[in-house]
Amino acid sequence: MEKRLVIKGMLLKYEGLFGVLDLYKLIDDWTKENGYDKFEKESTEYVKPEGKYIEMRLEPYKKVSDYVQNRIVLLIFMKDVKEADVEIDRKKHKLNKGNLAINFDAYLETDYEHRWEQKPTLFFIRTLVDKYIYKIYTQKFESNLKNDVNSLHTAIKSFLNLYRY
């Protein structure tokens, strides 16, 4: 399998009010609506006196064809997360307050079923085809993957902006 790094280290930092569960729901719903499969590699939660520490590694993936797969890697860090009661439009809401950092990486994986790696001849043919013939399609897939990551990034930014006021 070949992994091509399309987006590296796109960072989003936020400090203030936000809903942890609502943020997770947003990411999960976005994953489902955009045809990605869920893969929550690691989920960590430590309860400390200064607040909760939450760390998640989400790797939603999407099989674009039988040869190409999109993979978005989200590293989510939440520090000093405490509960906060907030009044919005005269209604009380239970939210969270803390530090949030999300790192976005995106990979384009080709030959994810390892069918073209079983023999040296096949591997050589795959390399040539990828480099000279399939290049146009790979560029298109990369562009679509960048759009997907930007869409998710924008959705999360819009969500966090809602809690600014």
Partner 1 sequence: MAVPTKRVPSVKERLAEIKYSGVFDYDSLYKGVYSWFKGRFYDVHETAYKHKTTPRGAEVEISFKGERKQSEWIMYKVNVDFHIWDMADVEATNDGKKQKLNKARMTVVITMEAVFDYEKRFEQKPFYIKLYNLLVDKILWMKLMLGPVDTLYYEAYTLHTEIKKLLNMETAYSAF
Binding interface with partner 1 (CB under 8 A): 20-21, 24-25, 28-29, 31-32, 37-38, 40-47, 52, 54, 56, 66, 81, 96
| Short-list 31, 34, 5, CA closest to 108 | 5
Bridge partners of 37?
61
By C-beta, is 4 or 63 nearer to partner 1? 63
Q: Of 21 and 88, which CB lies nearer to partner 1 in the complex structure?
A: 21
Q: Which residues pair with 54 in a beta bridge?
A: 45, 78
Where does 89-160 show beta strands of DSSP type E? 91-110
Question: Which one, 24 or 137, has the nearer CB to partner 1?
Answer: 24
Q: Is 16 left (phi over 0), alpha (psi -120 to 50) or beta?
A: left
* Shortest distance (Å) from residue 69 CB to partner 1: 12
Q: How far is the CB of 90 from partner 1 (least distance, A)?
A: 26
